Amino acid sequence: MFFRAVVFSAALAAFAAPALADARSQAKEQVEFGIKVAQSGLWKEAAYRWQKAVEIDPTYAAAWNNLAIAYEQQGNFEQADKAYQKAVQLDPNNQMIRQNYDLFKEINDRAKRRTDR
Amino acid sequence: MTARNAAPIASLAFGLAVLCGAAACTNFYEIPIETPIQPKMDVSPFSRVLVAGFIGGGTDDVDANLETVRLLRSQLRSKSNLRVIEADALSLTTLAVEQSKDAPARGSNGTSGGPKAPAAPGGAADGQLQPVAALAPNGSAQEPEAKIRNEKDLEKYQGIFANTAFWKKLGEEYQNPLIVTGTVLFTPTQNSGFVMTEKEVYDQFGRRRVVPVRTYMERKGFILRPKFIFIDGRTGATLYSETFNEQVLYNAQQNTPALSSYFELMDKLVPSFLNALSTQKVRGSRVLLK
């Protein structure tokens, strides 16, 4: 019984791993294209690409980080906050994501303080 | 693998790693972004703005009313989509004094009535009455009012901002613009105490270092406390108001003109003031990741 379970898990891992790797590589393509267009100032297209990337691979922290930046650039603070949180949650030790999030929070807090007045 | 061929392989691997890091394998990109901060008010019903005037006080060296009117108009001209109405700055202090005198005569409805029942533009409706704008242009104080030196002195004049009839009438004279008004208190200040300064020191090898030192200093400067009030020229109602507080201190020996300090402090506030009316963009950079 135990042996069967081990064999089944191994088989599942063997089939799932390439599928996950495939999702990551597809998402990576979208992320890379998004970076290119963002560098040309086409933030809407970039946001679309990074949205696709997180749909393909919801565990891809870099894609969530980039998507958050695109939302921030478009003034969509609520969604930017959610996307940054997701990126931090997926990769808590990534200092670059943390730094981006800290800079965003500074601006977001300032904007909130103003509207509260 | 011998020691002889291990060295070139290692250096090749190192070179590749450097090359990879520098070009193809870069997995982050710094990118400049401009984060838009939405305006605090909806100014879409207005196409024009009237910076009417301010109740100014504090030092005599700066005419806080005139300087604020000039500065805000020039900023609005270049950094907002609203057309700026050019008119004499009102002496609101004089008008407020008149209104407070008229108030008892008008009875309990003091704040709801206008200051002098001003006429429509051109005086067509009621020829013998003066329009608000002609009542007290700045510099023609009709009677000497008490000097405003602090917040407490300012309080006596605040009632004018609640007088919706007055602002509505003023709005009618200028075809219902957005009206900007408020109070500006610009006062000298002195502050002595310990401050952290940096001092150069050289060690025994002649190396220079900068170390923080606590020093007792006599300092003087100015405090700027403006309150900007945005009024709907169609109704006379206050749409939004915001108060700021900025301070600048200099070494007591330094002789900085009051007007320079005024502009130095206003420079800090102007972006926030403009953000009430228009979207402001905060420039920065973020890191995109692969």
Name the helix (H) or strand (E) containing B28. Answer: strand B28-37
pLDDT over 50 at B110, yes or no: no
CB B68 within 8 A of CB B56: yes
Residues of chain A with Cβ-Cβ distance to B286 below 8 Å are 69, 72, 100, 103-104
pLDDT for B82 equals 92
The type of residue at B41 is M
For B147, phi and psi rounded to 5 degrees?
-65, 140
How much is the mean pLDDT over chain B?
80
CA distance A34 to B289: 10
Q: What span, in angstroms and rounded, lies between the C-alpha atoms of A71 and A25? A: 23
Integer Cα distance of B153 and B187 in angstroms: 13
Determine, for residues A111 and B37 on separate chains, whether the beta-carbon distance falls below 8 Å.
yes
Cβ atoms of B115 and B95 within 8 Å: the answer is yes
Give the residue from B35, B244, B275 with the most A CB atoms within 10 Å of its CB, the best one to mutate: B35
Cα–Cα dist B46/B180, whole Å: 12
Percent of chain B with pLDDT over 90: 45
C-beta atoms of B287 and A75 within 8 A? no
**Average pLDDT, integer, range A2-18:** 57
User: Are A69 and B40 in contact (CB < 8 Å)?
Assistant: no
Residue-wise pLDDT for B126-154, tens only, equals 333 355 555 555 554 444 456 888 888 88
Residue B119 has pLDDT above 50, yes or no: no
Question: Looking at the predicted complex, does its ipTM rise above 0.85?
Answer: no
Beta strands in B42-112 (DSSP E): 48-58, 83-84
Domain boundaries, chain A: 2-116
| Helices then strands, each counted (H, E), chain A | 5, 0
According to CATH, the topology of domain A2-116 is 1.25.40
d(CA A25, CA A29): 6
The whole-angstrom distance between A75's CA and the closest CA on chain B is 5
Q: What is the pLDDT of residues B77-95, one digit of tens each?
A: 998 889 999 999 999 998 8
Whole-prediction pTM: 0.65
- Domain ranges in chain B are 29-289
Is the pLDDT reported for residue A81 higher than 60? yes
Whether B263 shows a pLDDT value over 60: the answer reads yes
Interface test with B, best of A31, A45, A69, A108 (most B CBs within 10 A): A69
